[in-house]
Amino acid sequence: MPTGVIVSDDFRKHDPGKGHPESAERMGAVARAISSPDLASKLEIVSPKPAEKEHILLVHWERLYDEVVATRGKERTYLDSDTVASPATADVAHLAVGAVLTGIDRVMPGGEHKLENVFAFPRPPGHHAKPDKAMGFCFFNNVAVGAMYALKRYQLRRILVIDFDVHHGNGTQKAFYTSPEVLYLSTHQSPHYPGTGNINETGKDEGEGYTLNVPMPAGMGDREYLRVFRDVLVPVGLEYKPELILVSAGFDAHREDPLGGMELSSAGYVAITAEILGLAREACGGKAVFVLEGGYNLLALQGSIASVLGIMSGGSAEPAGDPGAAAEDLVKELRAVHGEYWTSLRKP
């Protein structure tokens, strides 16, 4: 069964301005990655359909929706200091959300169930967009809307969102902070933008325990990420038993990325992707939708995407080596904080 790739040339039409790191050139990196001779025969290219207003309002306030739509046709509109709309941005943002919905429909029974897993490549990215505010290059929260869409359309009760962008997905966390229907697991550099994602931010009310943040100091790399995934995120994910996994796949934790300070390599991304896919196979029949978030060094982005698609489409991962001892104190702290909620973390 091929891996689906959701992509469109229309994503290039969003133009936040010269010199902005979230540029249309990122789509060139995606195009080069998916056209690799080693991958082409293993991928099914799927065109996204734009999301409807009703889909976006599953997460976002109508006021924000109207603010984004009002930018249509205007040369430059600043919704935030670094979140800049161009004339086509409103339409492209609808298509970005739609890419995730299209991917979900292709992996879920009852939809167009022809693919086990999918990688959607929308821009603009989404995980910083709050229900009421565009920020951090993000207008609508692609993954959060996708999660709500899947809960409603497919009558799901448990969705796992894994976010390995170098920045904390504050918008996704806020959307589901009081809900047990979405378990949000995030690895991110800390301290770093946007300043959220503390280890003690665990959810609220019925959502208490269903947010698990892994704030990591700058300089951590492949072995430390693998340690966190193997010893914390995967065991919690298995205990949760999700019916669908959505991944906010940011490649700005790569050692070459200009906006981060982490040390992940393309091989490291393969290793944590292998962990996620193993979790998906065991918990929900392999149903996983990866969604592009950050990643601003074009060569690193291209190489990392190609490597991840290789493992998603049936390739084998190189042995990752021993998990990093440098993450030992972090893992102990995560167990101390979250062992109250997850039995898999109560014993080392």
* Terminal CA-CA length for the chain: 37
Cα–Cα distance measured from residue 161 to residue 84, given in angstroms and rounded to the nearest whole number: 27
Cα–Cα distance measured from residue 137 to residue 179, given in angstroms and rounded to the nearest whole number: 26
**At 222, which amino acid appears?**
D
Radius of gyration of the chain (CA): 18
Using DSSP bridges, classify how beta strands 288-292 and 244-249 pair: parallel, antiparallel or unpaired.
Answer: parallel
Cα–Cα distance measured from residue 173 to residue 203, given in angstroms and rounded to the nearest whole number: 8
Alpha helices in the chain (DSSP H): 25-34, 53-56, 62-69, 89-107, 142-153, 170-176, 222-228, 234-240, 266-284, 298-312, 328-338
Query: Hunting for tokens 């290039």 — which residue is that?
Result: 12
Cα–Cα distance measured from residue 92 to residue 146, given in angstroms and rounded to the nearest whole number: 16
228: closest CA among 341, 338, 78, 67?
338
> Which residues belong to the active site?
128
- CB-based contact 42:314 (threshold 8 Å): yes
Two tokens, residue 209:
């325990």
CA angle, 337 as apex, 332 and 342 as ends, to 5°?
95
